[in-house]
Amino acid sequence: MKGTKLLALGTPVMDIFYEADYAFLKKHNLEAGCTNHLTDEQVAQIEKELAPIHEAAGDNARNVCESYAKSGGRECAYMGNVAKDETAKKIRSNLKKNKIGDLTANVDGKSGRIMCIITPDKQRTFAVYLGVGEKKVDISSLGIADVFFCTSITLFHPGVGESAYEFAKKCKENGGKVAVSLESQNLLRENLDKMSMVIEIANYLFLNEDEMKAIGYDEKNVGKLAKIVFLKKGADGSRVYKNGKVLGDAPAIKVGKVVDTTGAGDFYAGAALYALSTGLDEMRAAKAANEMAAKIISKIGAGL
């Protein structure tokens, strides 16, 4: 896509929201607060036991694009594999609605879906079937974006992860920048050997305190992971590191009621990347990101 300022690669899915208690999570061997990868059949079995309360196009990378666009950004695009099914139609309709460039590609199989299970404490647990989103993505015709975004979930995954890593290196070699969000502490613990890949490619890194601890870092050394590190601290706002040193803290924005935290980190990253693209400094970018995250946790679902 010519002139793209932000290009995000992910695993296109529909997010389907449910409410359940911790006993339900234990019954289905789902680790609370984490991303749990399941087969199509396992997800289908869980779906039989719960009634959906909301449905929306999802995926971390898509969420980042929506946040970027809703912040005022243009020339952003989203890519990944979808199937020739109704799920793909819904995903593409959402991209058009949110003025996100559509670079999704049709491949044989099923499009992905994610069960977002909200427990009474408003924590969310994900039961994930990625479908064709797991497969390698054809990046041969992609132009270099100002910023390329992907998550650790995508980067560490066989197939699509190879495409993400290849394109990230291509961007850096041609003057572009790479932004990576760390996601899901359980998957990070299982893929510690792949963190060197993140350190190699990331100019901007986004992570929260649980993810920081999962990879064996603390607030004294986490700033060494990338040139610019945004540490999300929930109700305490966020901390920004630059060149290994603390740049400052951005206070959280108070909200009347936290409804659902799904997508908060993604919308934080998208708003921060947009602010940086306009020439704002890192602390002002963190403030804008906190403001956007506050909006998304005030409603159900990762979308405005």
DSSP state of 223: G
User: How, if at all, do strands 245-250 and 238-242 pair?
Assistant: antiparallel
DSSP state of 193: G
* Paired residues of 177 in beta bridges: 147
CA 226 to the chain's CA centroid:
18
Alpha-carbon distance of 110 to 40, in angstroms, equals 9
Single-letter amino acid code for the residue at 130? L
pLDDT at 1: 46
pLDDT at 298: 53
CA 151 to the chain's CA centroid:
6
Alpha-carbon distance of 222 to 162, in angstroms, equals 25
Kindly list the distances between the CA atom of residue 128 and the CA atoms of 40, 59, 106, 131, in Å, as whole numbers in the listed order: 9, 11, 20, 9
Structure token digits, residue 133 = 């989103």
Q: In 3D, which of 153, 129, 117 has the Cα closest to residue 39?
A: 129
Q: What is the set of domains in the chain, with CATH numbers? A: 6-11+58-110+131-296 (3.40.1190.20)
Query: Taking the model in full, what pTM does it have?
Result: 0.87
In contact, 30 and 38? CB cutoff 8 Å: no
In contact, 56 and 94? CB cutoff 8 Å: yes
pLDDT at 303: 56
Single-letter amino acid code for the residue at 148? F
Per-residue pLDDT of the chain (304 residues; tens, 9 = 90+): 455 899 999 999 998 999 999 999 999 999 998 889 899 999 999 999 999 998 889 899 999 999 999 999 889 999 999 999 999 999 999 999 999 999 999 999 999 999 999 999 888 898 999 999 999 999 988 888 999 999 999 999 999 999 999 999 999 999 999 999 999 888 899 999 999 999 999 999 999 999 999 999 999 999 999 999 999 998 899 999 999 999 999 998 776 555 555 668 899 999 999 999 999 999 999 999 988 887 765 555 555 5
Alpha-carbon distance of 283 to 255, in angstroms, equals 21
- Classify 199 as helix, strand or coil: helix
In contact, 155 and 161? CB cutoff 8 Å: yes
Alpha-carbon distance of 117 to 38, in angstroms, equals 14
pLDDT at 112: 93
Taking the alpha carbons at both ends of the chain, their separation in whole angstroms is: 25
Alpha-carbon distance of 183 to 155, in angstroms, equals 11
Alpha-carbon distance of 256 to 242, in angstroms, equals 32
